[in-house]
A and B are shown apart, each in its own frame.
Chain A
């Protein structure tokens, strides 16, 4: 029962570097989302997907790219890291909109 797996758990980047946060789920969920969590701001939606090949922007998409080539995987790409992207990132999936989301353990990302 792996659920939602995020890698890495911690990462430090330099400004301008790029990287990909990985997210995989083994529950055959169609719906997947990426959030960032900042102190005092709750969880803010970056991008989401309602199925393989379909992605859409959330509340704070700038500086991030996603793709969904398979049902299982939903990677988040930082194109050119900026200090403002220092945050904790969560990936989540759900079977349907009426069902609760299952969350990964999060990635703490620091950008210097």
Chain B
């Protein structure tokens, strides 16, 4: 069974600084997808970034980038130039790839990291 671990329950960063949130996962699959979701105090779940395991290039979305280390099963999120609006819970998620049938479509979420950006 797959597991996702976020070892940092809480973090804080000064506005305009850079912060890295860690995520490790355990799987025997070679084809899978990884996601970071953000949940601000409004409770909405918002996609931050997505990575396909077969792509070696790290995904980037504006100030957000990942460091994907497939062999180490690590998927960290780097937030550059942190802004007050980045204050939120951040969840790492794993999704198995391959042909989707009943029994295989299961997102596995980590327990989250609460990030606070300080003014």
What is the bound-complex CA distance between A92 and B104, given in angstroms? 16
Proximity string of chain B (36-69) to chain A, C-beta cutoff 8 Å, 1 when within and 0 when not: 0100000111010010100000000000000000
Contacts of A103 in B (CB 8 A): 44-45
Task: With A50-B102, A105-B44 given, name 18 new contacts (CB 8 A).
Answer: A33-B105, A40-B9, A42-B91, A43-B109, A45-B106, A45-B107, A45-B108, A48-B106, A54-B102, A56-B103, A56-B105, A92-B45, A97-B96, A97-B104, A98-B95, A98-B97, A100-B47, A101-B45
Q: List 21 A-B contacts (CB under 8 A).
A: A42-B109, A42-B110, A42-B111, A45-B106, A45-B107, A48-B106, A54-B102, A56-B102, A56-B103, A59-B106, A97-B97, A97-B105, A98-B33, A98-B52, A98-B97, A100-B37, A100-B47, A101-B47, A103-B45, A105-B43, A105-B44
